[in-house]
Amino acid sequence: MMGDNQKKYSHEWIIILDIAIIGSGMAGLATARILKDAGHAITIFEALPGRGMDSHSIEFEGGVIDAPLRVMNPFLWKNTLSLATHLGMTMFPVRTYMACSWLFEDRTETWLTTTRSRIGNFPIINNRKGLKQYGWRLVKGMLQLKTAIHQFFKSKNQDITLAEFINQNDIEEVFWHGAVMPVLYTVCTCNPKTIGDWPAKPLLVFLRQLTDGDALLRMHGGTPAFVDRLIDGIHIHSGSAIVKVEQQGDKVLVENALGEQNLFDRVVIATPTDKIDDFLNAEQFADDLALLKQFRFEQGDLVIHTDTTVMPPRRKDWSVLSYMMDRKFTRQQFTVWMNAVEPSLVGKSPVFQTWRPVTPIDPKKIISTVKLTRAVVDSKTVALNTALQQRHKDPERKVFYCGSWSCDGLPILESAVTSAMNIAEIFGAPLPFVGLQPKVEVAPQLGY
């Protein structure tokens, strides 16, 4: 007869464990959901007062603002969307129109606006000035990029950086720096030098898929609704940072800043690694810390506000994405017009998210400023992740690590979910959501 601490999946017995998850970002929540559904007892610890993943989401005039905004390509975010579908979430398509503007000392001048075709979702230049001055350069750049990407994936040497890829290919400057790089900033939220050091392959996979015309998807209810599904039935201990993780015999002690202590069979740490040495026992986990401290992170401010100066001067040129840059491409910022992608904000005052603003934003119009942390990806992190996954295979191991930083590829929600799937595999937990197609409903009326 099956014991109280055992459960059967696919003709195999698994031992039911008491597991602590430290961190409630996407990686922690996905890990918790998968392991909870496999029958394990799960407790989530979060330093912030609420849930980490939607801790910066706020209400605005009765609508919801996700911070940061989350829209996903169905190919590049397939595991995230499959998990959301498994949990009953529905999606709707978002067409990401774009406007690009030059930042001059005395004025802002919009030089490109786009729309997207109803069939195929291909970008189309829809302003005469953009067509006249830059149309042929943008078309030329698009063809050059497609050719370069095709040749890259046929080549034997794919272990190069994005900067090396650019140097090897003559791609029209206005197209690359004026249209492509700003798109990468929206995903990577890194500075140009950092992105240049990235392995080219994951970014080119992203660009290839993007130029093939797939529409982006957004979840109904946004991030808060997704988090509600992820933590359903799971206890989350919020508002007190972890100060100690220490192995005691066959258990792991977890202590928070309030002095509360609990013993667990296993612990999964789902936080950026730059904070781990604040609580991980330095003697017991010296080898882990030596590896984990080699991962690097960058921070930047995401400003949520109602200042319309971040948009093109003419109202008819407003787009979902507004990129502003100087003519030398040394100063740049991107802004998302929230009303154009979130149904609950339709009819409300225009509200925006601007990443690392380089133009002044009226302090009286700032709703909140969010400091975002993003992993730095380079050739070194690929080797570090390989070493980390190898360590996870130790059958005696009781403490594991996951996060968007712990997978090859873009450090986004998809990497976070993939890292959770890697942890699930270690625990023998089933992944019933893999391969599910997103349930896409008719797009609601948005504020274009």
Indicate whether 262 belongs to any domain. Answer: yes
- Number of residues written out for the chain: 448
Indicate whether 24 belongs to any domain. Answer: yes
Residue 247: pLDDT over 80: yes
Residue 26: pLDDT over 90: yes
Q: What is the pLDDT of residue 182?
A: 78
Q: How far is CA 180 from CA 23, 106, 168, 187, 395, in A?
A: 33, 26, 17, 11, 45
Residue 411: pLDDT over 90: no
Task: Quick: pLDDT tens for 146-165.
Answer: 899 999 999 988 889 899 99
Indicate whether 174 belongs to any domain. Answer: no
Residue 233: pLDDT over 80: yes
Q: What is the pLDDT of residue 130?
A: 57
H or E segment at 261? Answer: strand 261-264
Side chain identity at residue 420, one-letter code:
A
Q: What is the pLDDT of residue 201?
A: 87
Residue 311: pLDDT over 80: yes
Question: CATH no. for residue 388?
Answer: 3.50.50.60
Distance (Å, rounded) from C-alpha 212 to C-alpha 386? 31
Q: DSSP readout, 231-275?
A: TTT-EEEES--EEEEEEETTEEEEEETT--EEEESEEEE-S-GGG
pLDDT band at 5; cut points 50, 70, 90: low
Q: What is the pLDDT of residue 3?
A: 40
Strand, coil or helix: 268: strand
Which pTM value belongs to this model?
Answer: 0.88
> Hey, what are 318's tokens?
């407003």
Task: Quick: pLDDT tens for 202-227.
Answer: 888 878 876 665 678 999 999 999 99
Strand, coil or helix: 443: coil
Q: DSSP readout, 306-338?
A: --GGGS-SSGGG--SEEEEE-TTSSSEEEEEEG
Q: What is the pLDDT of residue 1?
A: 32
Q: Which domain holds residue 48?
A: 16-56+221-295+377-427
Indicate whether 134 belongs to any domain. Answer: no
Indicate whether 85 belongs to any domain. Answer: no
Q: What is the pLDDT of residue 225?
A: 93
Distance (Å, rounded) from C-alpha 430 to C-alpha 34? 8
**407-411 mean pLDDT:** 69
Indicate whether 338 belongs to any domain. Answer: no
> Hey, what are 157's tokens?
């040497």
Q: What is the pLDDT of residue 9?
A: 47
Report the domain count for the chain: 1
Indicate whether 326 belongs to any domain. Answer: no
Burial 367-400 (b: 16+ CB within 10 A, else e): eeebeebbbbbeeebeebbeebeeebeeeeeebb
User: 50-64, 174-188, 277-291, 429-443: lowest mean pLDDT where?
Assistant: 174-188
Which are the contacts of 223, defined by CB distance < 8 A and separation ≥ 6? 53, 54, 57, 66, 70
Task: Quick: pLDDT tens for 74-133.
Answer: 888 999 999 999 999 999 988 778 888 999 888 898 888 776 444 333 445 555 665 566
Percent of the chain with pLDDT over 70: 88
Q: Locate tokens 């999964």: which residue? A: 268
**42-58 mean pLDDT:** 89
Distance (Å, rounded) from C-alpha 138 to C-alpha 181? 13
> Hey, what are 387's tokens?
């070493």
Q: What is the pLDDT of residue 190?
A: 66
Q: Are strands 261-264 and 91-94 parallel, antiparallel or unpaired?
A: unpaired
Distance (Å, rounded) from C-alpha 164 to C-alpha 196? 8
Q: What is the pLDDT of residue 2?
A: 35
* Among 67-76, 167-176, 361-370, the range of highest mean pLDDT: 361-370
Mean pLDDT, rounded, of the chain: 86
Distance (Å, rounded) from C-alpha 407 to C-alpha 389? 9
Q: What is the pLDDT of residue 212?
A: 60
Indicate whether 245 belongs to any domain. Answer: yes
User: 15-24, 108-117, 233-242: lowest mean pLDDT where?
Assistant: 108-117
Q: How far is CA 354 from CA 51, 123, 238, 333, in A?
A: 23, 22, 28, 7
DSSP annotation of 368 reads: E
- What is the rounded end-to-end Cα distance, in angstroms, of the chain? 61
User: 67-71, 208-212, 287-291: lowest mean pLDDT where?
Assistant: 208-212
pLDDT band at 69; cut points 50, 70, 90: confident
Strand, coil or helix: 236: strand
Q: What is the pLDDT of residue 444?
A: 65
User: 84-88, 401-405, 408-412, 426-430: lowest mean pLDDT where?
Assistant: 408-412
* More confident position, 328 or 369: 369
**228-248 mean pLDDT:** 94
Residue 32: pLDDT over 90: yes
